[in-house]
Structure 1
């Protein structure tokens, strides 16, 4: 399992969520990240999910 990082921002750049989670691969991480965003009501906010090596797995501006 790899550790991925999900971050959500307000329009002014303030962090509203900074959370780590584990997933088997990038596709699973994208699914888990999207699910977490929807559950918390942050799916329309600016957000990113980053892989352990720094690659963006999920991004919305």
Structure 2
């Protein structure tokens, strides 16, 4: 198991949960920022995995 990608995936899930909660209470600006942050973390995780694959192969 790769620790960094796993932690990043958990961070993404947490950010989505936070964003959905904030949407339900009406704090849309912070919810949007949370969704944007989740997107950035997804991108960083993909880049990390791609880098690991290029080193292995």
Bin of the TM-score, shorter chain as denominator length: 0.3 to 0.5
- After TM superposition, the score normalised by the length of structure 2 is 0.33
Could you say which structure has the higher strand fraction? 1
Larger Rg: 2
Higher helix share: 2
